[in-house]
Chain A
Amino acid sequence: MSYLELHGLEVSFDGFKAVNGLDLSVERGELRCLLGANGAGKSTTLDLICGRTQPTGGRILLDEHDITYDPEYRRARRGVGRKFQVPSVFKELSVRENLEIARSRHPEPWCTLRAFPGRRLSPRVAEVVEIVGLEDALDTRAGHLSHGQTQWLEIAMLLVQDSALILMDEPTAGMTIQETGKTSAIFQRLRGRHTLIVVEHDMGFVREIAETITVLHQGRRLSEGPIRVIENDPKVREAYLGSGGISHA
């Protein structure tokens, strides 16, 4: 049995089936890319896995537990972490405070009531801050960060959260080429220790990081395999007809 399994997952928004009988299995430690045109159901799939959206059918199994109807916070405690497409950090709080919230190994109120975060960073947080290069912005309010820095902050928060399964929605959106390179280096480090599912449009980036790619089309799985297979799959070519195949998507 795989680490994450989706069985016949479906969700409909006012009759529109954004995800329509999706089957997917991801092994522990795997880095999986989700590809597909706009509206193919990639972000919705991530929403379904992390619990932001409730499915109208099908099942989600994480590490042999049925989490289909668990609330978001239970899934997070089981090890599901999520980076959103629009960077989602706490704008009113400082970078330091954002990272403290992400340090959520003991999220119950009776634990947090007894914890008094000081100004000293834990070794793990200090390491992450160095990786993403936010050392000088620790006391900046997150709302005052640039778009790129906000992306890095959210990635840093996920690294601090240290979830077993990390769902990344367009992690390199709005990043420069250098920053994208840094992100792919981070992903290479996470590979094996964490299970990652990445939605990404930047094919260069996908080529660099992906082992297995799943292509979605109209809420279903269209094709799956290594990048060579995907690029030569006639079904994929057909779905992307007019845009010159997936390489130019």
Chain B
Amino acid sequence: MPRITSAAQFLPYILFCGAILAVPSIVSDPFLLNKFARYLALGLAAAALALSWGYCGILNLGQGVGFGLGAYAMAMHLKLKTSPVHTGTAGLPDFMVWNNLDHLPWFWQPFHSGLFALAAAVLLPALVAALLGWFMFRARIAGVYVAIITLAMLAVTNLLFVDQQAYTGGLNGITDLAWFEMGGVEFDPYSPAFYYLSAGCLAFFLMLGMVFTRSKAGLVLRAIGSGTDRVLFFGYDMASYQCLAFSLSASMAGVAGMLYAMVLEFASPTFMGVPISLSMVIWAAVGGRGSLLGATVGAILVNGTQGSLSETFLDSWQLILGALFILVVVFLPNGIAGLANSLGARLSGRARGMAARSAAPSALLNRR
């Protein structure tokens, strides 16, 4: 039996990853590919939130911090790749010239390396989250207070980036980015190569997240998420488990932000704003916060709908989206994933019922 259960749990993930990786063989329109790659990046951000919120009960309203840090890390690298063309002055990015800087700040230097930027996009968000988490979770802060603190953290980070105009580009952010290049491959955001990068990152982190949640650590986190400190009395250090989940989630958000900056070819403080962070909560809720895949699908569907609705109903699409959110929260508390699960359970229940009926005679024979 065990093999069947775990295979059944992995199957939707494998199907989904196969499906998103197959898209470029069907779709060749570069604009569509670019749009899909963007949805996948946002899907990854929603999956990251599901990991901390759905599994561990940590409602992070500041998911934009990790997302934005990842975006800026990549944007800094891509900016350094372009600046000589635009400014010509010792390779200094244009906005630094406008802000009267005469040399590149020390913390910009390592971003000449693409590998460093990648590592920073993954690790920096995790580091910030671990630090904040250490203070929060050591102090046994939970529930709505976590939401408030993470929201405050988001506001602070956003203000810091807007304020430090000479180093971050201020309100404009970092614009006019080059294409990312690694191993001789150039990731033009309208190319299949970039789509594969986006889909590959999403597939990798979905699988990683799946494995993580199936591990015993994932089980302990689910126990913590149910809102008791009972695990402490079995010797589990609750705070380090929460820090772990919080950091992993921030890391995933960082990668999502990195892809998002690459696909839009800019990074701006709106990436670490309240609207996008709260949108992630909506995506995860619609898709089902208890499932990484559900949250991902939720993000893709909501953004897809948003894309088509905002074209037809210029002003009212947010109303329609709000109504959709309320309907889902009221009628499908576990989101689309919950709906799929209960449908699946009903189907397999019927199948099992049939199996039991056909097995019954032989069971009777055995008993005799």
- A residues adjacent to B (C-beta < 8 A): 50-52, 71-73, 76-77, 80-82, 88-93, 97, 100-102, 104, 107-109, 112-120, 157, 161
A73 in complex: contacting residue of B212, B214, B225, B238, CB < 8 Å = B238
Within residues 211 to 231 of chain B, which ones have a CB less than 8 A from any CB in chain A? 212, 214-217, 219-220, 222-223, 225-226, 228-231
Quick check: A97 and B219 within 8 Å, CB to CB?
Answer: yes
Quick check: B222 and A92 within 8 Å, CB to CB?
Answer: yes
Instruction: Flag whether B244 is at the interface (Cβ < 8 A).
Output: yes
A113 in complex: contacting residue of B217, B231, B235, CB < 8 Å = B217
Quick check: B219 and A107 within 8 Å, CB to CB?
Answer: no
Residues from chain A with Cβ under 8 Å of B234 in the complex: 76, 81, 101-102, 104, 107, 157, 161
Decide: A109 near B233, CB < 8 A? Known: A90-B226, A90-B228, A115-B215. Answer: no
Within residues 91 to 118 of chain B, which ones have a CB less than 8 A from any CB in chain A? none
Instruction: Flag whether B1 is at the interface (Cβ < 8 A).
Output: yes
Quick check: B2 and A72 within 8 Å, CB to CB?
Answer: no
* 11 CB < 8 A contacts A-B: A52-B233, A73-B231, A73-B232, A92-B226, A97-B219, A100-B219, A104-B234, A112-B215, A114-B215, A120-B2, A161-B234
Decide: A76 near B219, CB < 8 A? Known: A118-B2, A119-B1, A120-B2. Answer: no
Decide: A113 near B215, CB < 8 A? Known: A72-B233, A90-B226, A107-B236. Answer: yes
Decide: A76 near B232, CB < 8 A? Known: A93-B223, A119-B1, A119-B5. Answer: yes
Residues from chain A with Cβ under 8 Å of B225 in the complex: 92
Quick check: B232 and A72 within 8 Å, CB to CB?
Answer: yes
Instruction: Flag whether B237 is at the interface (Cβ < 8 A).
Output: yes
Chain A residue at minimum C-beta to C-beta distance from B234: A104
Residues from chain A with Cβ under 8 Å of B217 in the complex: 109, 112-113, 115
Complex: A88 Cα to B235 Cα, angstroms: 15
Of A100, A107, A119, A120, most buried by chain B (CB within 10 Å of CB) is: A107
Closest 7 CB pairs of A and B: A76-B235, A72-B232, A112-B217, A112-B216, A115-B216, A107-B235, A119-B2
Instruction: Flag whether B241 is at the interface (Cβ < 8 A).
Output: yes
Complex: A91 Cα to B226 Cα, angstroms: 8
Residues from chain B with Cβ under 8 Å of A100 in the complex: 216, 219
Chain A residue at minimum C-beta to C-beta distance from B226: A92
Complex: A104 Cα to B226 Cα, angstroms: 18
Quick check: A71 and B232 within 8 Å, CB to CB?
Answer: yes
Instruction: Flag whether B308 is at the interface (Cβ < 8 A).
Output: no
Complex: A179 Cα to B130 Cα, angstroms: 47
Instruction: Flag whether B316 is at the interface (Cβ < 8 A).
Output: no
Complex: A97 Cα to B228 Cα, angstroms: 15
Quick check: B237 and A73 within 8 Å, CB to CB?
Answer: yes
Instruction: Flag whether B341 is at the interface (Cβ < 8 A).
Output: no
Complex: A201 Cα to B74 Cα, angstroms: 65
Given contacts A51-B232, A92-B223, A120-B2, 12 further A-B contacts (CB under 8 A): A50-B233, A71-B232, A76-B233, A100-B216, A101-B220, A102-B234, A107-B237, A112-B216, A113-B212, A115-B216, A117-B219, A119-B5
Chain B residue at minimum C-beta to C-beta distance from A97: B219
Instruction: Flag whether B240 is at the interface (Cβ < 8 A).
Output: yes
Residues from chain A with Cβ under 8 Å of B233 in the complex: 50, 52, 72-73, 76, 80-82
A109 in complex: contacting residue of B226, B229, B244, CB < 8 Å = B244
Complex: A161 Cα to B1 Cα, angstroms: 26
- Min Cβ gap B109→A in Å is 34
Quick check: B222 and A109 within 8 Å, CB to CB?
Answer: no
Chain B residue at minimum C-beta to C-beta distance from A108: B237
- Min Cβ gap A119→B in Å is 4
Complex: A161 Cα to B234 Cα, angstroms: 7
Decide: A101 near B223, CB < 8 A? Known: A71-B232, A88-B228, A90-B230. Answer: yes
- Min Cβ gap B22→A in Å is 29
Complex: A64 Cα to B50 Cα, angstroms: 45
Complex: A91 Cα to B217 Cα, angstroms: 18
